Structure 1
């Protein structure tokens, strides 16, 4: 009789394109989200938490850089029911909410949302299929004052989380201006949709390909270093020069940039409307004290999503960091958004103005790490060691006293037989202090407090004899334990 096959053990591995986050990472992210939420709340936005699952019909066809509906999402079909999918961003669910509860919500409706999103895309270095977004949107406000407010709020958010002024710039453009340029260049109409798509993608690659690379893509095409050929838009010289002039329109100040843009879109009603909106935004921001050191009008900003209908904006970090090959480069974009007046219309049939921004939380955390900054230091931990397992109640009383004082603390709950292992555990937990009380200390009513971080620093810099004279470990009365630790944590 054949032996039954054993069920193989599952592999302990993270699915491809996903990752796990541990204590300090989760704490830093939460601290960042809390700071961002403070700014959003300050501006009068209300929190909204939607389901992580939407119907595929609700999500629609707006996934970035994907032409086919439902592509790029994690989707499944309920039995004899709708197709469902994990949300790929936080904007599509907002459009559904704005339509579903339109009779109950205030208008305009101002909301912020934070949470994970999922995209069924090919993973790569630093590119995961699940990541956090942090959005703020205003639905129901046709005035570009709402767009100016989003830009000002984004600047405040960046500074609140630790990005210094001068290390970022928020660039603002308007899709109406770009549509006007397309019209002047003879690229309007349904029959020119393919060419317009190539032009948009080419402009969006200006920082990577440079002027010559974009110019090639506007013409016959471009061959890269590997020999691969990318077909171009096939524009004539005059058409290409109009588009190139648009990208080179950035002047020394907003008024100069706007004047150049007006010349480029002369004769286009939609283009002139876009320039008027940019002028209003620049005026409103200047009145609030947001100058070109923080926010600029920049025609090179395109934004890839197809649903943008007006102003678009992007936050770029300008300080240098090293890439995988050790070469210096600018950190790049960490947030973006714009006006999308047609998105809610999919549900209601009526145009509902909306504008908003999305912050890439993981990108922003990586930026702070690149500058050796933490959003907020994690609360220091105190580990109470166990010298006598029969006295567990005494040790639990110690951590209770520490916790009541707001100090993060725990009792060592492993095998207490080897005291050295307890200190190794405290080091692995990155604890600040270890509390020690054996029988002798109990009889005298004292505890030993070991400053683990100071001890580690001293061990690296002083001799053994000098180390013995340093206050890395000290004795104090049991009743004074909380006060002594609080003082050393700067909380007295």
Structure 2
């Protein structure tokens, strides 16, 4: 065949920034969302699903990047020439839903939602254009009591994910405190305040020296790109620095670090109406959380937390992982923040023209699940596939499928029959191994004629093959047993229990 007559074969490739997630990752993410959903629903939050697209004009100024209001989202025109954009978070669709159904909803309206969101941004390591978020929000709740509940829920989600005391902390601040500091320092321009907030949100990334450049004249990165600064003078920058360090009572070993921090902030912000309101809100939040026996091990007041999005108006917080894992070379993996939230009282008001206070918490499912996987031992998930019934004889399919159905029904575990081509024993066993099957069920002609089944414990076999020093020692174990057909379920159950105990 001439070269020009060859059929077109597209190259198999993923668009940049869009990730394929195999079964083990999806199962981990699904489990995390299920655990979070149980926490939310136990506290009266009901699930909601909104569409992937929202009209672009509904997003307004609340796009991901305020400095590029027409970028950052994937947009297209509908057949009526209205611009639609894939949702970039779960909060903007919630605001639209509440406004559209306002009169019929009980307020506060408490919902949780999980799903994909999309950002039209430059992809990079760990930065994707599509990822999964899980949110809980309370719309129509005006006081710091609702903010305290959100902080509490953030901590409970961390615990539901399997994290213990010392593994995480929820860091809490109030955006009005910084507004008060800037007012007292003579920074009154709203655009300038916005640059200060965005600069401080990069404190973990750049450190204080880098943030100080962004607060001043600007910062040039390693590539030569220049970011314009907030144009604060030296005295104003120093005032901001003192504010970010105001929660030092936690490092000093104080008996009541939250109380001392609140008292210090009250003295520093005396005379600022905004600042005093923020201090009062933190006092209420602290009293509620202390009453729930939440102390420094679960939450801390941290004035360096500002959150980057422009719609936050009061309390802000971040859930940070403190527990670390290690790379193969032994270096520690620092996970940092896996979620956050705060009060946003203006988002729904854009639609209604009346005050509609709201507060919420959101975490990145993929990032959080990946961190949890890295913190696990690793071997436990190797055999999390289904029990596999090998199909070694023609004409016995009904029996094989009946066995798999019995395993599912009586043991409540996944089970499947090998439905690939051929009856080769080695090929099917290799398939079971690749599927991560803990157990393989074998019924050949000899077992069938004798009314027996052979149960091969693949998890135990792998463990013993790594530990046994001689072939005789390996063969002497119980990794493969032939038992009467009526003992199949009991034998598989023992094998699965043994795997859990390892």
Contact preservation (8 Å) 2:342, 2:359: yes
Instruction: Name the SS of the counterpart of 2:235 in structure 1.
Output: helix
C-alpha deviation, 1:262, in angstroms: 2.1
Which position in structure 1 is the counterpart of 2:415? 409
Q: Distance in 1 between matches of 2:292 and 2:126?
A: 36
Instruction: Name the SS of the counterpart of 2:231 in structure 1.
Output: coil
Does structure 1 residue 269 correspond to structure 2 residue 273?
yes
State the Cα deviation string for residues 178-214 of structure 1 (Å, max 9, x = none): 11111111111xxx23432332222222233333333
Please point out which of 475, 478, 483 is paired with 2:482.
475
Q: Distance in 1 between matches of 2:72 and 2:212?
A: 30
Instruction: Name the SS of the counterpart of 1:390 in structure 2.
Output: coil
Contact preservation (8 Å) 2:96, 2:348: yes
C-alpha deviation, 1:231, in angstroms: 3.8
Q: Distance in 2 between matches of 1:267 and 1:323?
A: 50
Which position in structure 1 is the counterpart of 2:175? 175
5+ residue gaps, structure 2, are 250-256
State the Cα deviation string for residues 429-453 of structure 1 (Å, max 9, x = none): 1111111112221121111111112
- Counting only pairs closer than 5 Å after superposition, residues 21-420 of structure 1 correspond to structure 2 as 21-188=21-188, 192-224=189-221, 230-252=227-249, 253-322=257-326, 327-328=331-332, 330-372=334-376, 380-405=385-410, 406-420=412-426
Greater CA deviation, 318-327 or 259-268?
318-327
Which position in structure 2 is the counterpart of 1:454? 460
State the Cα deviation string for residues 332-388 of structure 1 (Å, max 9, x = none): 0000111110000111111100000101111111211221268x9685521111221
Q: Distance in 2 between matches of 1:280 and 1:365?
A: 32
C-alpha deviation, 1:5, in angstroms: 5.8
Contact preservation (8 Å) 1:61, 1:68: no
C-alpha deviation, 1:169, in angstroms: 1.1
Instruction: Name the SS of the counterpart of 1:319 in structure 2.
Output: coil
Q: Distance in 1 between matches of 2:480 and 2:29?
A: 33
Contact preservation (8 Å) 1:151, 1:170: yes
State the Cα deviation string for residues 364-417 of structure 1 (Å, max 9, x = none): 11211221268x968552111122112222212211211221232111111233
State the Cα deviation string for residues 121-140 of structure 1 (Å, max 9, x = none): 11111111111100000000
CA shift in 2, pair 1:85/1:231, >3 Å: closer
Contact preservation (8 Å) 2:324, 2:375: no
Which position in structure 1 is the counterpart of 2:253? none
Which position in structure 1 is the counterpart of 2:254? none
Greater CA deviation, 301-310 or 466-475?
466-475
Instruction: Name the SS of the counterpart of 2:212 in structure 1.
Output: helix
Contact preservation (8 Å) 1:447, 1:475: yes
Q: Distance in 2 between matches of 1:63 and 1:461?
A: 56
CA shift in 2, pair 1:439/1:358, >3 Å: same
Q: Distance in 1 between matches of 2:156 and 2:296?
A: 14
Instruction: Name the SS of the counterpart of 1:413 in structure 2.
Output: coil
Which position in structure 1 is the counterpart of 2:429? 423
Contact preservation (8 Å) 1:66, 1:72: no
C-alpha deviation, 1:267, in angstroms: 1.8
Q: Distance in 1 between matches of 2:107 and 2:377?
A: 39
Q: Distance in 2 between matches of 1:284 and 1:73?
A: 39
Q: Distance in 2 between matches of 1:16 and 1:209?
A: 26
Please point out which of 435, 438, 444 is paired with 1:432.
438
Instruction: Name the SS of the counterpart of 2:115 in structure 1.
Output: strand
Contact preservation (8 Å) 1:63, 1:72: yes
Instruction: Name the SS of the counterpart of 1:183 in structure 2.
Output: helix
Instruction: Name the SS of the counterpart of 1:169 in structure 2.
Output: strand
- Aligned-residue Cα RMSD (Å) equals 2.3
TM-score by length of 1: 0.93
C-alpha deviation, 1:61, in angstroms: 2.5
CA shift in 2, pair 1:3/1:451, >3 Å: closer
Contact preservation (8 Å) 1:407, 1:486: no
CA shift in 2, pair 1:454/1:364, >3 Å: same
CA shift in 2, pair 1:364/1:225, >3 Å: same
5+ residue gaps, structure 1, are none
Contact preservation (8 Å) 2:214, 2:228: yes
Greater CA deviation, 128-137 or 429-438?
429-438
Q: Distance in 1 between matches of 2:423 and 2:324?
A: 51
CA shift in 2, pair 1:326/1:199, >3 Å: farther
Instruction: Name the SS of the counterpart of 1:266 in structure 2.
Output: coil
